[in-house]
Amino acid sequence: MFYHVKELQFNARVSEPDPKFAALLLEQFGGANGELAAAMRYFTQAFSTRKPYPDKYDMLMDIATEEFSHLEIVGATVTMLLDGLNGELKNAAEASPLGKLTSRNGKDELMHEALTNPLFLIQSGGGPTLTNSQGVPFSGSYIDANGDLTVDLRSDMAAEARAKITYEYLMKFTSDPLVHDSLRFLMTREIAHFQMFGAALDTIKPNFPMGILQGDPRHTHTYFNLSNGADARGPWNEGQGPWSAGESWEYINEPHRHVIDTQGEINHQPETVNITQEEVEEKDKELSRQRSEEVKMKTSAAPTQWSSYPQESVESPMEADTTRT
């Protein structure tokens, strides 16, 4: 269950209205890397961790709830940046129409600027809209939740990176020190969350490859030089790179010839990999057994109940399982 308190997590303030920046700031209200996307990403991921991994569930819900609180800060700031607009629109019978607005002299500058986002004027009446900075509605397709923590936590780290750079860019477009303060807080929290997710990922062993299955050793270490001319080499396509000792990248300089020679990779014999297909299958089985048991152990009983009342410890959902109707 959620609670709300009227105080914001950060004391958001603005020096004066600025509808143009309000429009840019919508990117963090309803945009792909905005606060609602963040909140819903962690909230949605949390459900399948609830029982098997209650510690990660706690972390995801802590951060999701913080992101909802950030969404509120962004919405509050957008609203303050539009201060005056709603009141002006209420003055519907006023004689002097604001129509053409092509010359700025003697016109309401505030209204003029709001034209950069017409939805402020004719849809939301001076409040935020659940869109990005160009008016594209928020989409559920922004949410990554794939039911596997070694994947989801990586998605989360990348999402925090994108949210951080977005705040960094936004700070270039306002000179209001009060708004800067809020943006700096929000940007910094993305860094903090990035660190939390990274630390959590490190507690899962193994976490590479993500998911359960190992890669097929015939295909893991090859690099295809598919963009010809001005080729570059580096640890991403030569030498040991990120691989184990004794392993290295295999650089396919002429992919078309390679494909024909190997009959479409079917006959490709890897030479720079140490692991065998048998070892791969062994690892696959072992991790399959371990991870599926971890999950099933906690979720198999029925009927099931989500919460126990009250719950003080991370063990409580399991107690709940023993409750029968």
- Residues from 262 through 321 that contact a second copy (CB under 8 A): 263-266, 281, 284-285, 287-289, 291-296, 299-300, 302-307, 309-317
Nearest-CA neighbor of 122 among 75, 81, 88?
88
Residue of 101, 107, 248, 272 interacting with a second copy (CB under 8 A): 101
Sole binder of a second copy in the list 22, 35, 38, 212 (CB under 8 A): 212
Q: How far is the CB of 216 from a second copy (least distance, A)?
A: 4
Query: Residue 40: enclosing H or E segment and its boundaries?
Result: helix 35-49
Tell me the site size for a second copy, rule CB under 8 A: 216
For residue 149, give Cα distances in angstroms to 50, 53, 241.
12, 9, 25
Closest approach of a second copy to the CB of residue 271, in Å? 15
To the nearest whole angstrom, how small is the minimum distance from the Cβ of residue 34 to a second copy? Answer: 10
Answer left, alpha or beta for residue 27, where phi above 0 means left and psi between -120 and 50 means alpha: alpha
| CA–CA–CA angle 9, 12, 16 (5° rounding) | 170
In sequence order, what are the beta bridge partners of 222? 250
CA distances from 18 to 34, 39, 60, 114, 189 (A): 20, 26, 34, 8, 24
Can you tell me the distance from the alpha carbon of 101 to that of 203, in angstroms, rounded to the nearest whole number?
59
Instruction: State in angstroms the smallest separation of the CB of 212 from a second copy.
Output: 4
- Subset of residues 31 to 50 that bind a second copy, contact rule: CB under 8 A: 31-33, 36, 40, 43-45, 47-48, 50
Using the rule CB under 8 A, is 2 a contact of a second copy?
yes
Please check whether residue 78 is in contact with residue 128, taking contact to mean a CB–CB distance below 8 angstroms: yes
Q: Check if the beta carbon of residue 14 is closer than 8 Å to that of residue 177.
A: no
**Residue 204 sits in the site that holds a second copy (CB under 8 A):** no
Which two three-digit tokens encode residue 140?
């559920």
CB 32 within 8 A of CB 64: no
Q: How far is the CB of 244 from a second copy (least distance, A)?
A: 11
Binders of a second copy among residues 183 to 202 (CB under 8 A) are 184-185, 187-189, 191-192, 194-200, 202
Q: Pick from 105, 205, 229, 253: which binds a second copy (CB under 8 A)?
A: 229
Minimum gap (Å) between residue 148 Cβ and a second copy: 5
Q: Which of residues 109-128 bind a second copy (CB under 8 A)?
A: 109, 113, 115-119, 121-128
64 binds a second copy (CB under 8 A): yes
Distance of closest approach, residue 245 Cβ to a second copy, in angstroms:
15
* C-alpha distances out from residue 316 to 51, 149, 228, 276, 296, Å: 9, 21, 58, 43, 17
Q: Which is nearer to a second copy, 269 or 313 (CB)?
A: 313
> Per-residue x/- mask for a second copy, residues 132 to 171, rule CB under 8 A?
xxxxxxxxxxxxxxxxx-xx--xx-xxx-xx-xxx-xxxx
Closest distance of CB 134 from a second copy, Å: 3
* Longest Cα–Cα distance in the chain: 83
CB 51 within 8 A of CB 110: no
Pick from 206, 219, 253, 279: which binds a second copy (CB under 8 A)?
A: 219
